[in-house]
């Protein structure tokens, strides 16, 4: 071969790509829930309302190539219609207060984390005809200025 060092560099680069792909693939296989892609992030249709706090928790998938540090979003409560479309949307939070990351800190690319958004009004937990949704604009997602170091790979 004329360029053995170039071939070795390409093989090393490809091996890092395969290892990164496999770690993301195993993370995605663990979670079998449906996400609604809204650009840079995907929001799960499942959400939870903790009883102790006046907040709502959404599971959010990072579709970008950078680590998310802050998300500002609008949480709406709406009535479920008979045709599957919502009506009577009511803003439930202050959009100028961002969400707080609960699980999955830092929110790395391709991972799913839980974000808690504080509510201004008390949520209706008992009413089954009410649902909640999260609306996030692409300019309301902020990224880390410096990427945190990657998690060490455990070799067994």
For the cut 90, the answer to whether the pLDDT of residue 100 exceeds it is yes
For residue range 20-69, what is the model confidence (pLDDT) as tens digits?
544 444 444 444 788 999 989 999 988 898 888 899 999 999 999 999 99
pLDDT of residue 57: 94
Query: Would you say the pTM of this structure is higher than 0.75?
Result: no
For residues 143 and 84, the model is more confident at: 143
User: Alpha-carbon distance 76 to 51, whole Å?
Assistant: 19
User: Alpha-carbon distance 30 to 92, whole Å?
Assistant: 31
Q: b vs e for 29-46, b when ≥16 Cβ sit within 10 Å of the residue's Cβ?
A: eeeeeebeebebbbbbee
Q: How confident is the model at residue 2 (pLDDT cuts 50, 70, 90)?
A: low
């Amino acid at each position: 071969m004329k360029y053995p060092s170039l071939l070795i560099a390409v093989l090393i680069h490809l091996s890092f790509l395969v290892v990164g792909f496999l770690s993301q693939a195993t993370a995605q296989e663990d979670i079998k829930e449906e996400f609604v892609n809204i650009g840079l992030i995907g929001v799960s249709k499942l959400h939870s309302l903790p009883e102790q706090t006046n907040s709502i928790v959404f599971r959010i998938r990072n579709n970008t190539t950078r680590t998310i540090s802050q998300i500002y979003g609008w949480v709406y409560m709406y009535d479920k219609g008979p045709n599957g479309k919502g009506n009577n949307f009511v803003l439930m939070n202050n959009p100028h207060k961002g969400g707080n990351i609960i699980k999955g800190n830092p929110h790395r690319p391709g991972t799913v984390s839980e974000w808690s958004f504080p509510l201004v009004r008390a949520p209706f937990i008992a009413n089954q005809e009410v649902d909640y949704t999260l609306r996030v604009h692409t300019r309301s997602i902020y990224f880390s200025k410096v990427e945190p170091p990657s998690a060490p790979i455990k070799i067994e």
